[in-house]
Structure 1
Amino acid sequence: MNRNRLQRLYIPLIVFTLLLLSIISITSLAKTDLAHAAKEPTSAVKKLVMGTSPDYPPYESVDAKNNGEIVGLDIDIAKYITSQLGYELEITSMDFSGLIAALQTERVDFVMSGMSVTDERKKSVAFSDSYYTARNTIVSQKKNGFETVEQLSGKLVGTQLGSTQDQFAETIPGAKHKKLNKIADLIQELNSGRIDAAIVEDAVAIEMVLANSDLAMNFIPVVEEANGYAIAFPKQTALVADFNRMLDQMKENGELQNIIDKWFEEKQADTSGQTGFLNIDFRVLDGYVPYILKGVYVTLLFTLVSALLGLFWGTILSLFKISGIRPLQWFATAYTSVFRGTPLLVQLTLIYYAVPQLFNFDIPALLAAGLAFGLNSAAYLSETIRGGIMAVDKGQREASIALGIPYRKMMVRIIFPQALRHILPALVNEFVALLKESSLVSVIGVTELMRRADVVRASTFRSFEALLLVAAIYYVLVLVLTSLARMLERRLRRSD
């Protein structure tokens, strides 16, 4: 009786998978159509999408203790300008190194993220006038106390990848370089002694030193006039002139200086009590835990969609491989070879950035992640499922054929249920891997557990506490998943 019930579940499972994927695709298409419509000049509601990397306080960061919104100096400037121009502002977050690519693929309309104007960037994007000029600063441990660029010769210097400080570090004679994605990573490397110094912007350096009493900062003399921070736009855009006009107006009426004063004063007040932390102090997570826990839902949703897609498409590929039809076998073999032979992170970024460029479809980050992980998982599952099918006694097939049972009914009612018992441990391992590897999707801005931990690290300038909490959450989720799998396995054995 239990076996019959299990067998009847296969067709509904496949139908549910297709329905779920269709709903996600339709919803995403609808959102994209609305977003594209909002950008049309004739649309009643005009919207501009701003790209930023919210790990650079006080310019942009996530207000994780309250409503989880992105706030900061750049955000206030963008809100003022867009409201004065009659636009609705939508803010999307991603890694700093992906902002230029987002502009080039028209995923965002403009970028504000403490981005300096450089000749190299001018080749790819257009810039507004400068709205703030910062100074480069050396941050190091107090016991080293590097005060000049010359003292960094022969030392390992850390910078944020893609920043102007990164480019400046390349000019330091004799210095070795280490490029990291986030400012919080630089803090961790400094405190652990893996790098000798970091080159960062002055306001961020003050944040770092106030939050870590063992660090010291020293300004680097300005050799030439700095270009300052500006707003980046795609080439061939008409927005630059409007934004420049509004920046001039903000400078004249004092609104720009008011915003700058607000954030630099708040920064000093918010961080003044953060010195003198112990090496491990979980009090820094006070107020941030609810924000991190909200990432559990996104992680589980992403894992479910990826697992269902991988199981469905992997089953089809496994049938191709045992079909005896040469073109289908070649396709399935080539597919498996490509997806198993290339890094998952490369596949993820390709889907996220290439789809808008090739198909003019602004694929949402979560959908891109689900597709990338599902398609990758299918390549591995196809071999697992094929092995399970081949492990079923040949006599089962021969008896079915002799009784005149159609092939589809034979596979669904007889072969697949028996194969499932053989491959269940391997399926569980794949789903556990999907759950843990979900942390990779943080690179394209999906706010799952790891991305939220990065936000907390950027806000507190401390890494160990947030990462340990996220590791514990992942461990609990894996324990729950494996426990459910054991219950299912015992149930299947009792049904024999």
Structure 2
Amino acid sequence: MKRNSWVFTVLLAITMASSTIVISYLPSSAQSLVGKEELTMLTSPDYPPYEFYETKDGNRQIVGFDVDIANYIAKELRFKLKVTESDFNGLIPALQANRVDFVMAGMTPTPERQKNVDFSIIYYQAQDTIVAPKGSNIKKATDLSGKRVGVQLGTIQETNAKKIAEKVSGIQLKQLNRVPELIQELKAKRIDAAIIEDTIAKGFISANPELQFTPIPPEGPSGSAIAFPKGSPMVEPFSRVLQQMKDKGEIERLASKWFSASTSAAAAGAQAPAAPKGGLNLDFGRILPDLPFVLQGIPLTLLFTISSVFFGLIWGTILSLLKISGVKPLAAVADAYTSIFRGTPLLLQLSLVYFATPQLIGYNIPALLAGILTFTLNSGAYMSETIRGGILAVDKGQREAAMSLGVPYWTMLIDVIFPQALRNILPALVNETISLLKDSSLVSTIGVVELLRSAQIVGANKYIYFEPLLFAGLIYYVLVMALTVAASNLERRLRKSD
């Protein structure tokens, strides 16, 4: 009996080992076919129906035509898909910095772009259109002579508009970051026409019946493709799946799903009651279902502001101590640092930190961390001068009295000098905090969906502009007033403690 048990155990072990070897060579549903288990897709989700945020009931998921295609490819190539966002003009720099694996944003493979990134095959062909007010008689490229024409920065429409301008004299181009901004400029009569892709233009025309659009022949490359970093091995498998989707009619099915749905939604939104003549043409009822989405941007804005102020105050204090240390090399370094960060634009500093960090040190810094770091470095430069002035404003007798009593230098600074300096500089620190709160909207350029970005996303989805921005402005005002009241109470308590 024991002998049989021993034989059975050996046979079982051999069977299990053989099964393990066989299974290891079989294709696994969980095993990626592109060498990575998770791929990051970057997009610009203010371009419905290609990509946009589903904002109803506070949902913060990016959806759309491109996202559905990416999900299909992820299923076929067995990888997990992660979708992140950025402004359109930040997509190529992110690829060049290897921050993401690929970009889908209705992007056309122009010769200029192909010098910097690789592209898949074209998966969808669209056409440019001229959007203009009804009755303007702007229906073809030659009609743009002497007109102000709006285009989205960094898009194929901008490139094509420049080519039209070379042939048609007198065209004044105006580049803006987002398509909704073009529509608003058009309605405000600050531009005469805009060049927009037809699938996007249909939604905006449905929501703005006072506008019309006319297709124009392409002036250069057209069609949408997936962009990859130079030399990426993923171009071939992605292109293969895209070709399969085109052959099976899957691309056409998704196009019908998203483009017809987008036009219908925009048309439904355009049926909202108009404001009385002579009044403001505003309808906040259209954004009511999306208010939870906007409100979810408040915690991120506050987290960003509080973190930047806290670390900026610490860094500013260190810089101020270096400036008053009496050690000339340290003071010179602190002064040079302050000069650089006060003398260059904050947006430039943010872009350098976010895009250059992976290339310089190999660390793929998250967008929020890049924002906090940049604002800390920038606000520290400003706060250092404020803190230095506050310290020097303390009566010298306080310092001399502490030294005569044998109080150590650092103890004197912490217990005697800093509390008095804080009272002097508190208003300036509050102003810096308010500035950081309002400037926090800049982090939206690197993909952080804070308060203002949330409002802009709702506006893009609803094909409107003012209502979500006015609501965001109201929230900013409430936050600033709350901060001002809190600072006033703190200042009053500090004075009573004297």
Indicate how the Cα distance of structure 1 residues 381 and 182 shifts in structure 2: closer, same or farther if over 3 A, else same.
same
Indicate how the Cα distance of structure 1 residues 181 and 143 shifts in structure 2: closer, same or farther if over 3 A, else same.
same
Quick one: distance in 1 between partners of 2:268 and 2:293? 22
Quick one: distance in 2 between partners of 1:451 and 1:268? 23
State yes or no: 1:128 paired with 2:120: yes
Q: SS at the partner of 1:112?
A: strand
Once the 2 structures are TM-superposed, how far is the Cα of residue 253 of structure 1 from its aligned partner? 2.1
**How do residues 383-402 of structure 1 correspond to structure 2 at under 5 angstroms?**
383-402=385-404
Runs of 5+ in structure 1 lacking a partner? 1-39
User: In the alignment, what sits opposite 2:485?
Assistant: 483
Indicate how the Cα distance of structure 1 residues 44 and 81 shifts in structure 2: closer, same or farther if over 3 A, else same.
closer
User: In the alignment, what sits opposite 1:74?
Assistant: 66
Quick one: distance in 1 between partners of 2:210 and 2:192? 13
User: In the alignment, what sits opposite 2:104?
Assistant: 112
Question: Do the aligned residues in 2 keep the contact of 1:60 with 1:73 (CA within 8 Å)?
Answer: yes
Runs of 5+ in structure 2 lacking a partner? 1-30, 276-280
Once the 2 structures are TM-superposed, how far is the Cα of residue 222 of structure 1 from its aligned partner? 4.5
User: In the alignment, what sits opposite 1:275?
Assistant: 270
Output one character per residue of 1:342-380: Cα deviation in whole Å (capped at 9) or x when no partner. 111111111011101111111111111111111111111
Quick one: distance in 2 between partners of 1:392 and 1:275? 62
Q: Which of 411, 414, 434 in structure 2 is aligned with 1:412?
A: 414
Q: Which of 226, 233, 238 in structure 2 is aligned with 1:238?
A: 233
Quick one: distance in 2 between partners of 1:465 and 1:145? 30
Output one character per residue of 1:212-257: Cα deviation in whole Å (capped at 9) or x when no partner. 1110111113467x54110000011110110011012112222222
State yes or no: 1:307 paired with 2:309: yes
Indicate how the Cα distance of structure 1 residues 296 and 223 shifts in structure 2: closer, same or farther if over 3 A, else same.
closer
Indicate how the Cα distance of structure 1 residues 289 and 436 shifts in structure 2: closer, same or farther if over 3 A, else same.
same
User: In the alignment, what sits opposite 2:176?
Assistant: 180
Q: SS at the partner of 1:287?
A: helix
Letter of the aligned partner of 1:372 in structure 2? Answer: T
Indicate how the Cα distance of structure 1 residues 321 and 83 shifts in structure 2: closer, same or farther if over 3 A, else same.
same
Quick one: distance in 1 between partners of 2:442 and 2:307? 16
Once the 2 structures are TM-superposed, how far is the Cα of residue 176 of structure 1 from its aligned partner? 1.1
TM-score (norm 2): 0.89
User: In the alignment, what sits opposite 1:59?
Assistant: 50
Quick one: distance in 2 between partners of 1:42 and 1:213? 48
Quick one: distance in 1 between partners of 2:442 and 2:223? 32
Quick one: distance in 2 between partners of 1:221 and 1:185? 24
Say which one has the larger Rg. 2
Once the 2 structures are TM-superposed, how far is the Cα of residue 396 of structure 1 from its aligned partner? 1.0
Indicate how the Cα distance of structure 1 residues 253 and 476 shifts in structure 2: closer, same or farther if over 3 A, else same.
same
User: In the alignment, what sits opposite 2:360?
Assistant: 358
Q: SS at the partner of 1:274?
A: helix
Quick one: distance in 2 between partners of 1:195 and 1:461? 18
Once the 2 structures are TM-superposed, how far is the Cα of residue 413 of structure 1 from its aligned partner? 0.6
Once the 2 structures are TM-superposed, how far is the Cα of residue 460 of structure 1 from its aligned partner? 1.4
**How do residues 357-376 of structure 1 correspond to structure 2 at under 5 angstroms?**
357-376=359-378
Output one character per residue of 1:99-153: Cα deviation in whole Å (capped at 9) or x when no partner. 0000000111000000011111100000000000001101001131411111001
Percent same amino acid at aligned positions? 53
Once the 2 structures are TM-superposed, how far is the Cα of residue 286 of structure 1 from its aligned partner? 2.0
Question: Do the aligned residues in 2 keep the contact of 1:159 with 1:186 (CA within 8 Å)?
Answer: yes
Q: Which moved further from structure 2: 62-71 or 235-244?
A: 62-71
Q: SS at the partner of 2:268?
A: coil
Quick one: distance in 1 between partners of 2:42 and 2:399? 57
Q: SS at the partner of 1:361?
A: coil
Quick one: distance in 2 between partners of 1:304 and 1:222? 49
Q: SS at the partner of 2:107?
A: coil
User: In the alignment, what sits opposite 1:228?
Assistant: 223
TM-score (norm 1): 0.90
Question: Do the aligned residues in 2 keep the contact of 1:145 with 1:216 (CA within 8 Å)?
Answer: no
User: In the alignment, what sits opposite 1:344?
Assistant: 346
Count how many residue pairs are aligned between Structure 1 and Structure 2.
456
User: In the alignment, what sits opposite 1:426?
Assistant: 428
